[in-house]
Amino acid sequence: MGVAVMFPGQGSQSPAMGAPWRETEAWQIVDRASEVLDEAVGDLLLDPDPGRLARTREAQLAVYLTSLLAWQTAAETLGTVTAFAGHSLGQLTALTAAGVLSVDDGVRVVASRAELTQAAADRSGGGMVALLGADPDQAHAACEAASGTCWVANDNAPGQVVVAGTDSGLTAATEAARAAGARRAVRLEVDGPFHTPLMQDAADRFAAATATVPLREPGAPVVCNTDAAAHLDADGWRQRLLDHLVRPVRWRQSVDSLVALGANALVEVGPGRVLAGLARKCRPDVAAHVAPVPA
């Protein structure tokens, strides 16, 4: 059986989501991250206050670390992995699990990405809205009605496309999408217009953070968000990580790529269950599961 592993992105966080791993050996990852960043990051994973993870900087770091905890405990039971993929931030988790990034470097890169995208979000304002019942063409047309202030950010699954932009742009695009037949528009719990040109400043600055980070060839193919293609090289990820800050996540096509690589089981590893649900919509012919959490 070919198993592909999928890692979630920002938006999958929940209060105290790291608690199931607190007494496991995997928690050494969190202790190490605290040393690397000189910050007690374990609190982010254990605090029951939902407001603690409301901002991008804290949410991204917490989701990345919780996903690594889940991977550490799930890897042995999953056996040989056919391919990896990650949604948005989860792409960095996928690169760490595949061996492209070391854990120490992954922590540093994620912390830098989180800080830079937080700063860009603070400057631009806005956010993201899921258009349910809309197809990509309808979403693109709705964004055109927003006159350069809203863009398609995620093509997640049939009937779910996410747009992102300024608040006024989201209002215009949402109204246009509803008029075109979108069943529902849901504002996502993120505080920025990610995967749009409004993140260009973050991408420019992120280039410096990734320029000298050692990258290694992955142990299995990693499917990239922006082109939905599988990659086995190392250095190409420097540009891909910049591109994915300002270009849409092609998740529907990425799931197809995982299946084309030989996966007949798709396993979500990390907090939440969103990706498994999307995978079932994308490929109902392929089994999709969530990796178990320690009792």
Residues serving a catalytic function are 88, 195
Burial class (CB in 10 A: 0-12, 13-18, 19+), 228: buried
Euclidean distance between CA atoms 6 and 161, whole angstroms: 19
Residue type, 186: V
Beta strand pairing status for 222-223 and 184-187? unpaired
Euclidean distance between CA atoms 69 and 208, whole angstroms: 28
Euclidean distance between CA atoms 63 and 135, whole angstroms: 28
Decide if 248 contacts 224 (C-beta within 8 A): no
Residue 135: CB atoms within 10 A of its CB come to 17
Decide if 229 contacts 257 (C-beta within 8 A): yes
Q: Could you give the dihedral angle defined by the CA atoms of residues 198, 201, 202 and 208, in that order, rounded to the nearest 10 degrees?
A: 160
